[in-house]
Amino acid sequence: MGFVQLGLLIWRVTCAFVSALAQVFLPARKKSVEGDVCVITGAGMGIGRLFALEFAKLGATVVLWDVDKAANEETARLVQAAEGKAKAYVCDVSNKNDVYRIAEQVKTEVGDVSILVNNAGVVCGKTLLELPDEGIQRTFAVNTLAHFWTVKAFLPGMLANNHGHIISIASIAGHYGGVGLCDYSASKFGAVGFEECLRYEIRRTGKQGIYTTAAYPWIISTGMFEGFTPKEGWLLPPLEPQHAVNSIMQGILTNREVVFVPGYLNFFTFLKPVLPMDAMWAVVKFFGIDTAMDTFTGRRKEE
Partner 1 sequence: MAHFLTRVLKALCESPLRILLLFFVVLFRSCQYVCVRVLRAERRKSVSGETVLITGASRGIGRCLALEFAKHGADTIVLWGRDEEKLSSVKKEVEDIGTSRCHYYRCDVGDREQVYRTIQKVQEDVGTITILVNNAGVVHGGTLLETKDDKIEETLRVNTLSHFWTTKSVLPSMLARGRGHVVGIASTLGLFALPGVSDYVTSKFSLVGFYESLAAELREQGHRDVGVTCVCPGHTTTDMFKDLTTQPFSLTPQQVAEQTIEAVKTNQRRVILPRVMHLTWILKSWLPGSWMRNVLYVTGAMKDMDNFCAKR
Q: Which among 26-34, 105-113, 144-152, 220-228 is the span making contact with partner 1, rule CB under 8 A?
A: 144-152
**Sheet (strand 210-217) strand order:** 85-90, 61-66, 37-41, 115-118, 164-169, 210-217, 258-261
From candidates 192, 239, 244, 259, binder to partner 1 by CB under 8 A = 192
Q: Which among 28-36, 57-65, 111-119, 201-209 is the span making contact with partner 1, rule CB under 8 A?
A: 201-209
From candidates 167, 181, 210, 249, binder to partner 1 by CB under 8 A = 181
By CB under 8 A, tell whether 277 contacts partner 1.
yes
Q: From CA 261, how far away is CA 244, in angstroms rounded?
A: 6
Q: Which among 39-47, 110-118, 142-150, 161-169 is the span making contact with partner 1, rule CB under 8 A?
A: 142-150
On the CB side of 22, CA atoms within 13 Å amount to 8
By CB under 8 A, tell whether 1 contacts partner 1.
yes
By CB under 8 A, tell whether 26 contacts partner 1.
no
From candidates 198, 219, 224, 245, binder to partner 1 by CB under 8 A = 198
Q: Which of 176, 184, 211, 216 is catalytic?
A: 184
Q: Which among 32-40, 107-115, 238-246, 275-283 is the span making contact with partner 1, rule CB under 8 A?
A: 275-283
By CB under 8 A, tell whether 200 contacts partner 1.
yes
By CB under 8 A, tell whether 22 contacts partner 1.
no
Site residues for partner 1, window 222-261 (CB under 8 A)? 257-258
Spatial CB neighbours of 205, under 8 Å, sequence gap ≥ 6: 159
Nearer to partner 1, 82 or 128 (CB): 128
Catalytic residue status for 184: yes
Q: Which helix (H) or strand (E) holds 38?
A: strand 37-41
Cβ–Cβ < 8 Å for 148, 168? no
Q: From CA 275, how far away is CA 177, in angstroms rounded?
A: 15
Residue 164 dihedral angles phi and psi, to the nearest 5°: 175, 170
Residue 128 dihedral angles phi and psi, to the nearest 5°: -50, -45
How many Cβ atoms are within 10 Å of 256's Cβ, its own excluded? 17
Cβ–Cβ < 8 Å for 114, 158? yes
Query: Using alpha carbons only, what angle is made at residue 245 by residues 52 and 112, rounded to the nearest 5 degrees?
Result: 35
From candidates 81, 82, 128, 160, binder to partner 1 by CB under 8 A = 128
Nearer to partner 1, 110 or 258 (CB): 258
From candidates 33, 76, 120, 155, binder to partner 1 by CB under 8 A = 155
Nearer to partner 1, 89 or 154 (CB): 154
Site residues for partner 1, window 72-91 (CB under 8 A)? none
Site residues for partner 1, window 86-125 (CB under 8 A)? 96
By CB under 8 A, tell whether 136 contacts partner 1.
yes
Q: Tell me the CA distances in angstroms from 32 to 28, 255, 291, one per residue in order.
A: 13, 11, 43
DSSP states of 196-223: HHHHHHHHHTT-SSEEEEEEEE--BTTT
Q: Shortest gap between Cβ of 237 and partner 1 (angstroms)?
A: 14
Cβ–Cβ < 8 Å for 43, 64? yes
From candidates 29, 273, 302, 303, binder to partner 1 by CB under 8 A = 273
Residues annotated as catalytic (active site), given as ranges: 184
